[in-house]
Chain A
């Protein structure tokens, strides 16, 4: 308590703190967990994704994204943009409708919930009477048509959500002119589909689940056409000209229906079961897209032969003789096709298909031959294989950055080079100040390199360590992109692949030296791979070395997994990071800590048994140190040991449950799946057992005999004063789970004799913290109390050289306390107790540099600490004073806390789901958050004038033009309405003209002056042409 009083409220410091620290959760990277709905606005070029937890996310051009959360946290079932408006309506599974809008405020757009509404029937009516099944936002933007389970269609006014009872389309009125024998089958059970006529907004097509489809005239309020389908209906789709529509059905068929004034009850033109003749699954959604060459694109979801391919998640595309059934890795939530959005255009000319599957987003380029996939700039599936660790490197040198990108581009050659088709909005965020890499290690032995500089987390390069080892799987048997002469013509798309071939391949620790390009990667079976960046493909032998961490121990038996077998002989590696040495720890326990010093060419790794130092220049093991306590028998039994923490096993079992749910079909039936199942059962049993017993906690002082005290938690290289205060030398520090710190002094030969003389190491110190809490971090502070720079940082002139004059200090961070000791003579100087006083334990810690947002020249180093309660504390160096704290992660979210990584500039990432990183910022200066603007269609309408006046008709080359062409139809109406305004009030015209000018100026690409004046004149001409040339449909009441 007194600590807080004593720290005092120095007003100067308090002000400085405000300039330095600020907590923000800025953006979520990755793929939304459990998506449940998809929406797309062809006018705004924005895509919306809703999730089962009630979140909605909007995406446009890279960097343009918005997030919203429904208070109810209910599943989002449907999302519909209001045509031509920056608004969308969501339907949740509690039958509530929500209106969201993008509002501009201080130069950026914000997503806000405006209204909510629940449709209620008369008292006493069954809930299904008002259970909404379909939502159609009418192009007039004034009403929503709501189809229900009762078969009635309600009309509500926007934005007030007032029910217009007079306009309700009841099933009785629909059935008035239907033949009696047909109406006896109760065809109006449930509304499956409502679609507006593409040319005539007064006509809507209503499809009922039993197969009846009617064309309803809004003006006369009666059905004009009846289409007596006999199959259970799934969906309908209008052809572009409105002369035909397509219906798709539960039995895997689709039918084409003619619409003409001659026949009010026509028969289908054609009915087809594309994957017949055997029983097929339902076609749940269909697109019929006409093209200039006459051959339509028929795109439908499902319809696979029930018996043999009923388990596939497929979308088929048929174009003339080409036909591909895209086979997705997980359930398809929904999809849409991006085509020419101008309703006046004669052809659809689809350009891309966007498919939201449960675990990833796949976009198919329909223009390029072979229909390749498009590499998405966002919404990456981080969890293609489960993330096992992550590592962040700030401020990557340009050279390394370019080499990584070039290595990655060679891997992405199978992607289409189409520009990203969803390109709405304008990204206003400044360019990221530096290049940051986030490296994620995965369960399948891969490391993915992400561009984490900006709002879009983008995959740059993927590194696989599998090739080094002999595993059961042939690396070549992965996805064959084309399954030829097979029927149905399935093609696997997507990268989600949660099946790990061998759990031992999992990556546990990563260390990248950004200056030298050396990368060290360590895994589950004690393997440590050292890699170098090579721009060419190469074939070479990976050197092998073994580090026996149990050297001087007798009588121990490792009961865990075997080590991985390395491939003999040369191995071919693709351009990128190529391993040159494999250091194998024995016993092959999980590598728990890793450190790399690229200047000294040394790598250190630790497991639950001890740690070792390896000289990768001479390819020689320098020393090993066993940290096992003689009584710690349990540590030796390996991962199957009984002492596995309960939290961990629970987490694993949940992951297993989730994974088995994800994959109801077993792709690779084998022992692994069986073992997993058995484990899951066992864990569930354990869970139940635990719930029966009262929750008790044993209070016991830790002793040296506790299990896993030898577990090496942290390794650290430092050039400091280890033995005497006159000479500094390289040193290696190791911290264990039992609160012990080991320090070894190293003798690294000078560069000219580096190959000739061996590196020598000698134990210099061993510190035992009496509170025996696990050591989570070790750090040496130089004479100015600044942390020692990274290896090679000084050599590259990127850091001041450390102060070797003043005395150095050692900071040891345990889970419970932070302590500062003097060096070389170890005496305790300062400490900060956390657990004893606050009950929280340190989980993660890092040093971060905080710059002031007020002055450019002030910055300071602080410790950022994440505790088991999920809060982040900033602690000053070297005085260990708590500066501030922020609640960040729920304390129950153990995996979120375990996944947290800090950057060097006060930002951080943690997993909020298996597939999403939350990015947060503690700094006022370094903040990466989306800043973007969505222009309201009123403003885009001036672009539309470019189109109609024929000035520019270049298609979708430029983002703004693309948007305007998508909005033409809407704008026509809009302009018409504006004209009516103009009749009432000339000022409005002036304002509109003014906004035309400002709109052009406000956006990223200003229209040149001469062009603007032309725009203006064409605008006026247009307005007058409309006024006299087109009769308004509605009377405009002011």
Chain B
């Protein structure tokens, strides 16, 4: 981020607004011209300047009229902050290292909770929010069944979130053959199957995959015609956000799609938010999963940092999302420490399916391959 320290200051005039900025234990007060707030980068530089932290990468947040802590990281939300601040704009600055940038967006809740409580401690008796402004994908994702509404009933698309757990993915695949219905009648074709689940691994603990399930797609790419090694490489390359479409060996647990309740329960944990952008979740686009973008750089033997995006695009919202995420999660009382915890403790409707499935696991493993 080539944010130069430009645009410092600005003469106080009639339309000025008071800014109270907190970094660590220190407060700074200064003013801004409400009608000409300038760019976010200038504001960022200004904050670095007034706090005398020119080379420290920081996260900037403010409290809105509801007392919620919201991030400022682009021109839009900066302008929003300025326009809504009345009369005082309260700014909270957080060191990026402390915020553990490597865990950006989708890190473990525990870490984020700590960060969060640090940030929010001075202000933690504000009201509970009822406005949700984050995107669904900013939630800490968990393994789930997705795209129930667009897939044939005989197929299941499973998203395995490796990230944030210590569990190994824990499954093996093998070559095999399955029978397909073609215009020329039944035809035996080679396929890739799940051959083994490692006890205690992610795949087993979610209960979403079973031995002898036929793998049809990996992250949206069909595996037909690909070799076992190729599919292995694809899965490993996508291991941080692996989406496998399978034809379950046991077809008895298939979702009956015309039932509305089960239709929604088949979706992932973000069903409460689907009114926002349901298609992002439901129609998976490989390009939008930038799970491996968190490359780390260590400059001059300093602290590791996440490599930022060079071009500020919509993806730079990432910095926004982290705080949002923390925020929302706490407010929903939704801070599981691990996947297992999530599955077994969350009693919400949307979990029903997965739990049911997990209980069926042993049955599935013994099931015969039914593939038509």
Q: Which residues of A contact B (CB under 8 A)?
A: 1-3, 694-702, 723, 763-771, 773, 816-817, 819, 821-822, 825-829, 831, 833, 835-841, 868-869, 891
Cross-chain contact A770 with B293 (CB below 8 angstroms): yes
Number of B interface residues at 8 Å Cβ cutoff, please give it. 52
Cross-chain contact A836 with B310 (CB below 8 angstroms): no
- B237 interface neighbour in A1, A768, A773, A825, Cβ under 8 Å: A773
Contact residues of B: prevailing secondary structure:
mixed
- A816 interface neighbour in B174, B229, B237, B286, Cβ under 8 Å: B237
- B296 interface neighbour in A767, A817, A831, Cβ under 8 Å: A767
Chain B residue nearest in CB terms to A819: B295
Interface presence of B232 (CB below 8 A): yes
**What 20 new A-B contacts, CB under 8 Å, besides A770-B292, A821-B307, A831-B293?**
A2-B287, A695-B174, A696-B173, A696-B196, A698-B232, A699-B236, A701-B169, A701-B239, A763-B300, A766-B298, A771-B237, A821-B310, A822-B310, A825-B2, A826-B307, A828-B308, A829-B311, A835-B233, A838-B221, A891-B227
Give the interface centre of A1, A819, A839 by most chain B CB atoms within 10 Å: A839
Q: Which residues of B contact A (CB under 8 A)?
A: 1-2, 162, 168-175, 195-196, 218-221, 226-240, 242, 285-287, 292-301, 304, 307-311
Cross-chain contact B295 with A839 (CB below 8 angstroms): no
Cross-chain contact B1 with A825 (CB below 8 angstroms): yes
- B229 interface neighbour in A697, A702, A769, A771, Cβ under 8 Å: A697
Give the interface centre of A694, A699, A773 by most chain B CB atoms within 10 Å: A699
B246 CB, nearest partner CB in chain A, Å: 13
Chain A residue nearest in CB terms to B296: A768
Contacts of B235 in A (CB 8 A): 699
Cross-chain contact A697 with B285 (CB below 8 angstroms): no
CA distance A837 to B289 in the complex (A): 12
Contacts of A697 in B (CB 8 A): 172-174, 228-229, 231-232
- A768 interface neighbour in B175, B239, B304, B310, Cβ under 8 Å: B304
- B309 interface neighbour in A701, A766, A827, A841, Cβ under 8 Å: A827
Contacts of B174 in A (CB 8 A): 694-697
Give the interface centre of A694, A700, A868 by most chain B CB atoms within 10 Å: A700
Contacts of A3 in B (CB 8 A): 287
Cross-chain contact A840 with B240 (CB below 8 angstroms): no
23 A/B residue pairs, CB under 8 Å, sorted by A: A1-B286, A696-B196, A699-B169, A699-B172, A699-B232, A699-B235, A700-B170, A701-B240, A765-B299, A766-B301, A770-B240, A770-B294, A816-B233, A827-B1, A828-B293, A828-B295, A829-B310, A835-B236, A836-B237, A837-B221, A839-B218, A839-B233, A869-B230
Chain B residue nearest in CB terms to A773: B237
CA distance A392 to B219 in the complex (A): 39
CA distance A770 to B107 in the complex (A): 14
Cross-chain contact A695 with B237 (CB below 8 angstroms): no
Cross-chain contact A696 with B195 (CB below 8 angstroms): yes
Contacts of B310 in A (CB 8 A): 821-822, 827-829
Contacts of B162 in A (CB 8 A): 701
Cross-chain contact B236 with A828 (CB below 8 angstroms): no
A828 touching B169 in the complex, CB below 8 Å, given contacts A695-B174, A835-B237, A839-B231: no
Cross-chain contact A700 with B169 (CB below 8 angstroms): yes
B245 CB, nearest partner CB in chain A, Å: 15
Cross-chain contact B175 with A695 (CB below 8 angstroms): yes
CA distance A695 to B229 in the complex (A): 10
Report the 9 A-B pairs with minimum CB-CB distance, sorted nearest first: A701-B239, A839-B230, A835-B237, A829-B310, A827-B310, A697-B232, A766-B298, A836-B237, A839-B234
CA distance A891 to B225 in the complex (A): 14
Cross-chain contact B195 with A828 (CB below 8 angstroms): no
CA distance A877 to B240 in the complex (A): 28
Contacts of A2 in B (CB 8 A): 285, 287
CA distance A700 to B309 in the complex (A): 28
B290 CB, nearest partner CB in chain A, Å: 9
A765 touching B297 in the complex, CB below 8 Å, given contacts A696-B172, A696-B195, A771-B292: yes
Chain B residue nearest in CB terms to A835: B237
CA distance A765 to B303 in the complex (A): 11
- A763 interface neighbour in B230, B231, B301, B304, Cβ under 8 Å: B301
- A702 interface neighbour in B1, B236, B295, Cβ under 8 Å: B236
Cross-chain contact B236 with A701 (CB below 8 angstroms): yes
Contacts of A723 in B (CB 8 A): 300
Contacts of B227 in A (CB 8 A): 891
- B226 interface neighbour in A699, A836, A839, Cβ under 8 Å: A839
CA distance A821 to B306 in the complex (A): 13
Give the interface centre of A695, A764, A819, A828 by most chain B CB atoms within 10 Å: A828
A620 CB, nearest partner CB in chain B, Å: 23
CA distance A819 to B207 in the complex (A): 35
Contacts of A768 in B (CB 8 A): 295-298, 304
Contacts of A836 in B (CB 8 A): 219, 234, 237-238, 286, 292
CA distance A700 to B173 in the complex (A): 11
CA distance A763 to B297 in the complex (A): 12
Contacts of A765 in B (CB 8 A): 297-300
CA distance A696 to B229 in the complex (A): 9
Cross-chain contact B296 with A770 (CB below 8 angstroms): yes
Give the interface centre of B174, B236, B239 by most chain A CB atoms within 10 Å: B236
CA distance A838 to B230 in the complex (A): 8
Cross-chain contact A699 with B171 (CB below 8 angstroms): yes
Contacts of A771 in B (CB 8 A): 237, 240, 292
CA distance A363 to B285 in the complex (A): 64
CA distance A1 to B287 in the complex (A): 9
Contacts of B233 in A (CB 8 A): 816, 835, 839-841, 868
Contacts of B218 in A (CB 8 A): 839
CA distance A698 to B239 in the complex (A): 12
Contacts of B287 in A (CB 8 A): 2-3
Contacts of B2 in A (CB 8 A): 825
Contacts of B307 in A (CB 8 A): 767, 821, 826-828
Contacts of A696 in B (CB 8 A): 172-174, 195-196
CA distance A332 to B310 in the complex (A): 65
- A764 interface neighbour in B172, B195, B296, B300, Cβ under 8 Å: B300
CA distance A764 to B308 in the complex (A): 18
Contacts of B171 in A (CB 8 A): 699
CA distance A826 to B308 in the complex (A): 8
CA distance A821 to B226 in the complex (A): 32
CA distance A840 to B232 in the complex (A): 10
Cross-chain contact A828 with B309 (CB below 8 angstroms): yes
A691 CB, nearest partner CB in chain B, Å: 13
Chain A residue nearest in CB terms to B203: A699
A443 CB, nearest partner CB in chain B, Å: 28
B55 CB, nearest partner CB in chain A, Å: 12
Chain A residue nearest in CB terms to B291: A770
CA distance A2 to B230 in the complex (A): 21
CA distance A699 to B175 in the complex (A): 14
Contacts of B169 in A (CB 8 A): 699-701
Contacts of B285 in A (CB 8 A): 2
Contacts of A826 in B (CB 8 A): 297, 299, 307
- A1 interface neighbour in B195, B196, B220, Cβ under 8 Å: B220
A764 touching B293 in the complex, CB below 8 Å, given contacts A699-B171, A828-B310: no
Contacts of A833 in B (CB 8 A): 237, 286
